[in-house]
Amino acid sequence: MLKHPLNYQANTERLFECISHLPWAIFLDSGRPQSEYGRFDILVADPFVTISTVEDSVGLSANIHTEIMRDGQKTISTDDPFAILNDSLVPYRTEQNEALPFTGGAVGYFAYDLARQLEQLPNLSKNDVSIPHMMVGIYDWAVVVDHQEKTACLVSHGFRQSTHDNWKALCGLLDSVAALKIVNSEMKSDFSLTSTITSNMTFSEYSLAFNTVKNFITEGDCYQVNLAQRFSASAQGDSWIPYKKLRETSPAPFMAYMNFGPLQVLSGSPERFLQVMGTHVETRPIKGTRPRSDDLVRDSQLAKDLQSSIKDQAENLMIVDLLRNDISKNCKIGSVKANKLFQLQSFANVHHLVSIITGRLKHGKTAIDLLRGCFPGGSITGAPKLRAMQIIEALEPHRRGVYCGAIGYIGFDGNMDSNIAIRTAVYSSHDGVTGEISFYSGGGIVSDSDLEKEYAETLDKASSLLKTMQYFQS
């Protein structure tokens, strides 16, 4: 294994800026130094394989295929994208590294709409942004920063000859302050919104959708549905600028910045979807929310109110049961347990209830099998999952895209960690300069949900991104 120690810096964004100009640069960000939760940051760029699952929609029909780029050659497949990803990783299998969570492998996003490869869903909502259902690169090297041990290193298994050929230059790039200054001088240094932020639902439209969900619940179609609205604005400039502002003001343990050229993803997610370490499986669904308050007494009251809320606990428990069932598809019988229920976790803008479910992978099952069996995460669909997704498709005006999908890594060693892509913005740049930035916010609706409270909750959850974007309002 190739390994080169780097100078530790508490603020990893400086290291990322050294490589952010490289193709498909991705920063899996634990939110440090502001966040108390995260430990590792992972930085990658310049993958030797890229896998993009795209959809060509014609009327009510859709042609979904996957484009694989390897050594400059593109192949197209209509096979299951999860199987394609698994087959791309198989030749590079390595042993687990006890000290580092990731030493190369797959990194990218799995959009909510990738579920169309798994379930029969109607094609009702508008696909106006039309981003790929999956964008994953296979990376031969990574920078790993350990905030607990205060160490950083560049690491690679050296599967590609190009890695060996470029190793010295890459080490120098990450070592050199002078190189950092050069890269920074070449980066676009501004970002601004060029329109107001608008939602794709008025309150009356949200109210109509809300009441429709309540009717479905009353009729016994479902128990819970996650209903979301989309905020968007025209924008121009470098999306790395607002991402730095987001991580400064609203740190979270499962953040990410992904630069795919004309498409960038800015995620401030607090929620783990699935983690695999060896055979150990963990998921941490979030259900139950209260806003934060600048008044310490009021803030404490809000947290206590959330912890004692029977409604929020019941809502959380529905998703715990759903996820227990989902991970049981690929876990050993009897190994799946709800270790902790309704734990209070507080972030910059909201308090949440978080539960922890664990299990053990069955012999012969992989992290990708687990991901496929659980996708998309139940905490952002509702229960039962398929019916909730059908209702979401009928009631939400636009496709969700990355929102409520997952972002993360699957290592050559078979380990995985991923978030639920909430508090996540997508910037689509039409010409490399101007474009549109959009993000969603939603909440689970159950039988005793209150319209005004649920609507307010979507604004509470969106507050970190709304404030970040409003900072750049011209």
Encoding tokens for residue 87? 């087959």
* Annotated active-site residue in 13, 17, 244, 287: 287
Q: Are 338 and 321 in contact (CB under 8 A)?
A: no
Q: Are 210 and 227 in contact (CB under 8 A)?
A: yes
CB atoms near residue 457 (< 10 Å): 21
Detail the DSSP E strand segments found in 299-349.
337-346
* Annotated active-site residue in 13, 17, 55, 271: 271
Mark whether 287 is an active-site residue.
yes
Mark whether 188 is an active-site residue.
no
Longest alpha-carbon distance in the chain: 66
Q: Are 385 and 393 in contact (CB under 8 A)?
A: no
- Backbone φ and ψ for 446, nearest 5 degrees, come out as -125, -175
CB atoms near residue 251 (< 10 Å): 23
Give CA–CA dist 434/429, Å, rounded.
Answer: 5
Sign of CA dihedral 6, 9, 11, 14: negative
Per DSSP, helices labelled H in 68-144 are 81-89
Give CA–CA dist 306/300, Å, rounded.
Answer: 10
Give CA–CA dist 119/102, Å, rounded.
Answer: 31
Question: Going by DSSP bridges, is the β-strand pair 61-70/350-360 parallel, antiparallel, or unpaired?
Answer: unpaired
CA distances from 14 to 17, 20, 69, 264 (A): 5, 10, 29, 18
Give CA–CA dist 117/64, Å, rounded.
Answer: 8
DSSP 380: G
> Kindly report the CA angle at 382 between 201 and 38, in degrees rounded to 5?
90
Active site residues: 271, 287
